[in-house]
Amino acid sequence: MADSPHHHSHSHSHGLTGGWVDWVGDPVLRLVVAGVVVAALATLVGVVALWPTGQGRDAAIANADEIGLVTQRLTATLQEVVDGPCSYSTPDNPQECRTFTFELLEGAGVGSMVTLPEINLEFDPRLPDLALGDQAVLGYEESTDFYFFADQDRRTPLLWLTGLFAVVVIALGRFRGALALLAMATTLLVLVGFVAPSVLDGNDPLLVAVIAAAAIAFVSLYLTHGFTPTTTVALAGTMSALGLTLALSWVFFELARFTGVATEEALILPAITEDLNLSGLLLGGAIIGALGALDDVTVTQVATVAELRHRSPRLPTTELFASGIRVGRDHIASTVNTLLLAYAGASMPLLLLFAISDQSLSMVANSELIAVEIVRTLCGSIGLVAAVPITTALAAAILRPEQDRSEPATEPRRQRAKTNPRWEDFAPQRTEL
């Protein structure tokens, strides 16, 4: 009865029982766990050492305010739209303009009416598509008491979409889906609450990104997939592939001599924060970007090898590794394209501009804007490809053939049953609501 599936699932839900008890004697797993523990301690030390004080962020905000980059954002409702001749219109050159009048819903002037500067109907690309009663976001410069149209108010549809996403994930993933949402929220918290403020404090962007990526990997994998040997092996494969991606990216970023000032945002940042390493910021972004696909590959490979071992308990380790690699090839074939499509999809306007520049493909690729994405994509893809054999080898080394795990015949049967690991102990948890 103690070995029943029901009892095993119950034990697994309580953490360090079940699989960990049975697998603690495996020397390969002990080595993997030791490496993961060292990485966890290094990550913890890094988080503590690099934890932001907020002084750099405050100084950057003050600098941005001095050069006019900081303005208030206020919600307002459109009350009136008036079309008529522009203030600069003449009989010889008639121009039609539109003015919007908004009621402020927040800020010091809440409830008051604000008429924005006129917008030329023919030449001004800022013309918003608004109807009476629509809400918008207005910008306000306190020093000049000047209001301007900042953006559409999209928060309501974004909130609805977020709710729909959460419902779909939880409906299909149940408790595991809820954990995945919690992991996503944690990732966002790390990026916004740790990475950005820490870099603004003057810390090295690459080091901050590496520590953040490791912290995200630990939290998201263990939170989503459970504290099991499976997750630990997947985490070890993720960290190894991430280290390879970091090394490759660092080498080729140096060889390509990226300056980090190819975008408008990069040109503004040095003006508001001192001693910012823009090339390190680029490299750190590449590392965090590669992490997203790595955990998917590693978890899948460990689960694949575990399933193969379950179906073929006496399959030699070399054949188990080869079978896992064959399955991983199909996964890699589709995953390699993931990073390219992600970067290209975010750069569609830029691609159009280069398409009409009448330059050769090699010259377009030489541009820093494009070259950065090429290096990110290729280095990240190499890390993804390497994650398959690394993780498969670790899992195959732990899940050895059944005869390799057998105990001497003279050992009591009860003790053999206790020390022999089972596939069910290594398999992912099956926790449901």
On whether both 105 and 219 belong to a single domain, the answer is no
State pLDDT tens for residues 159-216.
999 999 999 999 988 888 898 899 999 999 999 999 989 988 888 888 999 999 999 9
pLDDT band at 309 (very low <50, low <70, confident <90, very high): confident
Tell me which of 24 and 12 has the higher pLDDT. 24
The answer to whether residue 140 is domain-embedded is yes
Q: Name all contacts of 152-161 with Cβ < 8 Å and 24+ positions apart.
A: 152/128, 153/75
The answer to whether residue 296 is domain-embedded is yes
Highest average pLDDT, of 51-65, 180-194, 376-390, 414-428, comes from 180-194
Tally of domains in the chain? 2
**153 with 135: CB under 8 angstroms?**
yes
The answer to whether residue 60 is domain-embedded is no
State pLDDT tens for residues 258-285.
776 666 666 677 777 777 777 788 888 8
Tell me which of 388 and 264 has the higher pLDDT. 388
Burial of 74 (0-12, 13-18, 19+ CB in 10 A): buried
**Spatial distance between the Cα atoms of 301 and 308, rounded to a whole number of angstroms:** 11
**Spatial distance between the Cα atoms of 304 and 29, rounded to a whole number of angstroms:** 17
**Angle, helix 27-50 to helix 368-398, in steps of 10 degrees:** 140
**65 with 209: CB under 8 angstroms?**
no
The answer to whether residue 64 is domain-embedded is no
**Spatial distance between the Cα atoms of 211 and 132, rounded to a whole number of angstroms:** 49
On whether both 124 and 230 belong to a single domain, the answer is no
On whether both 124 and 147 belong to a single domain, the answer is yes
On whether both 320 and 383 belong to a single domain, the answer is yes
Position of tokens 């023919």?
122
pLDDT for the residue 353 = 66
**Spatial distance between the Cα atoms of 200 and 408, rounded to a whole number of angstroms:** 61
**339 with 293: CB under 8 angstroms?**
yes
pLDDT band at 43 (very low <50, low <70, confident <90, very high): very high
**Spatial distance between the Cα atoms of 318 and 264, rounded to a whole number of angstroms:** 52
**Spatial distance between the Cα atoms of 141 and 286, rounded to a whole number of angstroms:** 36
Residue 410 confidence (pLDDT) above 50: no
On whether both 226 and 111 belong to a single domain, the answer is no
Boundary (domain end) residue, out of 99, 118, 153: 153
On whether both 164 and 77 belong to a single domain, the answer is no
Tell me which of 433 and 52 has the higher pLDDT. 52
On whether both 277 and 313 belong to a single domain, the answer is yes
pLDDT for the residue 10 = 36
Boundary (domain end) residue, out of 153, 184, 214: 153
| 426: nearest Cα among 2, 27, 26, 31 | 26
Positions of E strands within 180-335 = none
366 C-beta neighbours (distance < 10 Å), count: 13
On whether both 144 and 163 belong to a single domain, the answer is no
Range of the domain at 117: 71-153
For the chain, give the mean pLDDT.
79
The answer to whether residue 192 is domain-embedded is yes
Residue 37 confidence (pLDDT) above 80: yes
On whether both 137 and 207 belong to a single domain, the answer is no
On whether both 280 and 393 belong to a single domain, the answer is yes
Q: List Cβ neighbours of 293 (8 Å cut-off, separation of 6 or more).
A: 335, 338, 339, 380, 384
Tell me which of 209 and 108 has the higher pLDDT. 209
On whether both 19 and 131 belong to a single domain, the answer is no
**Spatial distance between the Cα atoms of 126 and 149, rounded to a whole number of angstroms:** 8
**Spatial distance between the Cα atoms of 392 and 300, rounded to a whole number of angstroms:** 10
pLDDT for the residue 344 = 66
126: DSSP letter: T
On whether both 114 and 216 belong to a single domain, the answer is no
**Spatial distance between the Cα atoms of 323 and 395, rounded to a whole number of angstroms:** 12
When pLDDT is averaged across residues 429-433 and rounded to a whole number, the result is 49
The answer to whether residue 173 is domain-embedded is yes
Boundary (domain end) residue, out of 153, 181, 202: 153
Query: In Å, what is the CA distance from 267 to each residue of 71, 75, 297, 348?
Result: 19, 29, 36, 21
CATH code of the domain containing 110: 2.40.50
**376 with 287: CB under 8 angstroms?**
no
Report the relative pairing of strands 119-120 and 96-104 from DSSP bridges: antiparallel
The answer to whether residue 58 is domain-embedded is no
Q: Which two tokens stand for residue 323?
A: 């079978």
136 strand-pairing partners: 76, 152
The answer to whether residue 65 is domain-embedded is no
